[in-house]
Amino acid sequence: MIDKAVEAGNYREAVRLLYQKTLKELSHAGLIDWAANKTNYDYLCEIDTHPSSGSFRKLTRIYEYTEYGEFGIDREGFKSVRKLYGRVNKQLSRGRNGKT
């Protein structure tokens, strides 16, 4: 679905989907307890001491600007978001392997 949104030029939707995917992966890694009534700030507090917290904080800021602040995002901006996602994912993988 993320790739379809990118192909359609709907980068705002692609950011939303990528952020949701990140939350799912953080939940599966046991770093957050996902719940419908939690806020992004709640998740930031839960992951605060993990090495991926800085990248996740940046990703959250971009998500909030595009989703709630209705800031526009273009192809280049989305490339940056994908890189942040990659950093979070890499840091999660290191944590799973016992490396931090």
Question: 58 lies in which domain range?
Answer: 2-96
| Mean pLDDT computed over 65-85 | 92
Count: domains in the chain: 1
The 10s digit of each residue's pLDDT in 6-57 is 999 999 999 999 999 999 999 999 999 999 999 999 999 999 998 889 999 9
Q: Considering the entire predicted model, what is its pTM? A: 0.86
Distance from C-alpha of 93 to C-alpha of 39, rounded to nearest angstrom: 25
Distance from C-alpha of 6 to C-alpha of 39, rounded to nearest angstrom: 26
